[in-house]
Amino acid sequence: MEELQSTLPPDRKLKAGREYIWNRKSKRKAEYWKYYLEYVENGKLRAECKFCPKTFAADGNLNGSKNVKNHAESCLGNPINIEKEKGKEKQTKLYFDQEHESGELKCGSRIINLNDVRDALIHMIIVDELPFKHVEKPGFRHFVQVACPQFHILSRVTIARDCLKLYYSEKEKLREMFKTCQRISVTTDTWTSIQRIDYMCLTAHFIDNDWKLNKKIINFCPISSHKGEAIGKAVEACLEYWGIDDKLFTVTVDNASSNDVACAHLSRMVRRTGCINDGKNLDVRCIAHIINLIVWDGIREHGVCIDRVRNAVKYVKNSPTRILRFKDLVQKANINSKSSLSFDVPTRWNSTYIMLETTLKFRRVFSGLSLPDGEDLNDNERPPEPKDWEKVERLVLFLEGFYLLTKRISGSHYVTASKGLGEIASMYDMLNNWEQSKDLKKKFDKYWGDVDKMNKFIYVALLLNPHSKMVIVELTLMDMHGPEKGTKLANDVKEFAYSLFEEYRKMYATSNIPDCGDNMSMDIDNSKGVGSDYVRKLKERAKRLKGTSGYAISELDRYLNDQLGPKEEEQDALTWWGKNGQRYVILNRMACDILAIPLSTVASESAFSTGGRTLDPFRSSLTPKMVQALLCTQDWLRAKEVSIVDVEENLKVLEEIEKEVQRGESNDVNDEVVFVDSLV
């Protein structure tokens, strides 16, 4: 009896006087019987639950086992069922949700599942880049206590563990996605953290079976150095880990010399694992980086006038009194602009452009300010003169085109490959219109002046845009290089496209190619007679030709000659290929690979901004493995349509709120608020 008692929970005792059955060889195999004790009462076999007083008839010949099974699965005294029920609410609760666009309230009902609340918390921690200790802060605890008091707040250790679990779960999903995709293009870049650890980010770009462009960070890991061989080996190891080393199509990198060595290493790898065009077009140079080099040459020529405007902005922004004086002059000058003066980051030309473009709107106001001036100041520290403003005005027009161009080719959720040649041509046109572009055009010609200096996939990408095709390629090259040379280059591009198409045709089964031979009508009498042997041989030759290049290549010709319908004109390239891919069996495979090529490394570089926020001075103790888990999972969880929230507040909006509150127009707070600005 002591041995039988040991099978019960501590708070349960055997019933006195019951005739329990113990050590009997039983035929019961079901798992739930281990939660019962069997005993005999009035000559009949019964089962007693180990966790509650309930008993059931248990004679196998007379009674079924349904009640026994159901109770075993629902008994709340059983620890197994307690764990299953954990996080479940029985009562349905009403909720009200306000739509962002219409502002209408929607009423609904749902059962609150605390496990879902826990998952949502982990999602918030990762996506919003919050520290693990955020859950232990008093403000967050108070919010949860009010919003969902039944939720048990997790510790920072449990949060870290759940983040890693989510990382591994999402990683397996991505691994399965890679198995179904055709080829993958990658971007890579390196970065040094606040811990003085060198990191490499590797981002995969591919088009899935639904013709959706995907961007996934697959690695954010420490590397031994920034040398090319180390980068190449790190990329190769990552691709092998994911099982996609045989699917690598292109690598987009900047112009650092170390990347030449890395790409040479990867070219040797793809020739072993299998590649397109023998890996000759593996390397794609980041257009944004080349734009950066060209623009900086233009900015250096205007260093003095830029410094003068920058110092004028600093002079105003560094004093509350001067800011008020500046605002007063803006109102008197009747300048209706919601823009506010902003500092720039001198090492980032795009922020310099925004600073100059904004300051130019208030050009008349600066003449009314007493800006510092004197013989002891350097030339670039003096107030901007009229000729300086004229130079800035021309410079802003110059930078605006490159600023917008950079934004267009830096996207990662829409096709940029088919825009490459057109954007390069527009840049060429801008340089022709820039009066001081002689030196800048030399740098342009260094990278894009010769067709052989560009990755030929960029030309084919424009050809594979159904809105462009060959005619736009030819016109673009003629505008850049003149009619004679442009026509020759266009013919070279067309020849390369045909050779690439032939390589794809040989790579994929001929059974997928339409039976071209059936389209040839051979109305020849099959009867025997004079010439019948010749007819038979002719048919055999025709049969052997089916699916060979002479016939299959007509698919590319047909694509180039087909015209778009009115509805197709409104479709983007991916949508068009998704709907028309079955008409071009081989060509759509080319399009799937080439249209996924990214033109810039911004996708990888932007991860370093996240890395800088994740590894700030307050969280510098995170391990490299945890850093990779957080950054990769954040990238995988973020939906395409959800933009990253800018944490910087709009100064103009804040000022309007302050004025509204100060006037007492806000119903939420009283007007006993004192602003420092009002006392100046």
What would the DSSP string read from start to end of 146-185?
A: HH-TTPPPPPHHHHHHHHHHHHHHHHHHHHHHHHH-S-EE
Give the per-residue pLDDT at 673.
Answer: 42
Count helices and strands (H / E) in the chain. 28, 11
Supply the pLDDT for residue 538.
62
What percentage of the chain carries pLDDT values higher than 90? 21
* Cβ atoms of 456 and 417 closer than 8 Å: no
Tokens of 329: 């002059």
Q: How many angstroms separate the first and last alpha carbons of the chain?
A: 89
Residue 91 pLDDT: 56
Query: DSSP assignment, residue 520?
Result: S
Q: Looking at this protein, which amino acid is placed at residue 136?
A: E
Beta sheet of 248-253, edge-to-edge order = 213-222, 198-207, 184-192, 248-253, 283-285
**3-class DSSP assignment, residue 217:** strand
Neighbours of 674 (CB within 10 A): 7
Who contacts 145 (Cβ-Cβ below 8 Å, separation ≥6)?
none
490 alpha carbon, distance to own chain's centre: 34
Instruction: Please tell me which residue, 604 or 245, carries the higher pLDDT value.
Output: 245
Contact between 464 and 573 (Cβ < 8 Å): yes
Work out the angle between the directed axes of helices 483-507 and 469-481 (0-180°, nearest 10): 140
pLDDT at 83 over 90: no
Run of H or E residues at 8: none
Pairing assessment for the beta strands 248-253 and 184-192 based on DSSP bridges: parallel
Burial of 648 (0-12, 13-18, 19+ CB in 10 A): exposed
Q: For residue 677, what pLDDT band results from cuts at 50, 70 and 90?
A: very low
The pLDDT value given to residue 183: 93
Q: Which of 488, 411, 442, 80 is nearest to 297 (CA)?
A: 442
| CB-based contact 571:211 (threshold 8 Å) | no
In the numeric block, which tokens belong to residue 260? 């030449």
Q: pLDDT tier at 674 (50, 70, 90 boundaries)?
A: very low
Average of pLDDT values for 247-254? 92
Q: Does residue 613 surpass a pLDDT of 60?
A: no
Position 507 pLDDT exceeds 50: yes
| CB atoms near residue 173 (< 10 Å) | 9
Mention every residue, 6+ apart, whose C-beta is less than 8 A from residue 415: 213, 572, 573, 574, 595, 596
Reported for 544-553, long-range contacts at CB under 8 A and 24+ positions apart, including other chains, are 545/517, 546/510, 546/515, 546/516, 546/517, 547/510, 547/513, 547/515, 547/516, 547/517, 549/502, 549/505, 551/516, 551/517, 552/505, 552/510, 552/513, 552/516, 552/586, 553/498, 553/501, 553/502, 553/505
335 burial (CB, 10 Å; 0-12 / 13-18 / 19+) is middle
Could you tell me the sign of the dihedral formed by the alpha carbons of 524, 527, 533, 536, in that order? positive
Report residue 525's pLDDT band, with 50, 70 and 90 as the boundaries: very low
Of 249 and 638, more confident: 249
CA distance 445 to 438: 11
What is d(CA 268, CA 394) in angstroms, rounded to the nearest whole number? 47
pLDDT-derived band at 422, boundaries 50, 70, 90? confident
Among 325-329, 439-443, 446-450, 669-673, name the one with the lowest average pLDDT. 669-673
Q: Is the pLDDT of residue 552 over 50?
A: no
Residue 404 in tokens: 């917008």
Q: Look at 680 and 501; give whichever has higher pLDDT.
A: 501
List of residues 6+ apart from 452 with CB closer than 8 A: none
> Structure tokens of 285?
């140079």
- Helix ranges (H only) for 335-436 are 349-360, 363-366, 386-409, 420-433
Provide the pLDDT confidence category of residue 679 given band limits of 50, 70 and 90.
very low
Label residue 670 by pLDDT band (50, 70, 90): very low
Q: Is 381 helix (H, G, I), strand (E, B) or coil?
A: helix
Distance (Å, rounded) from C-alpha 678 to C-alpha 670? Answer: 17
Cα gap 192→198, rounded to integer Å: 4
Closest CA to 426 of 397, 401, 456: 401
Q: pTM of this prediction?
A: 0.72
- Comparing 27-31, 93-97, 307-311, which segment has the lowest mean pLDDT? 93-97
Please give the pLDDT value at position 185.
Answer: 94
Q: Which of 444, 304, 325 is nearest to 387 (CA)?
A: 304
Say how far apart CA 274 and CA 281 lie, in whole Å: 13
Task: State the CB neighbour count (10 A cutoff) for residue 584.
Answer: 20
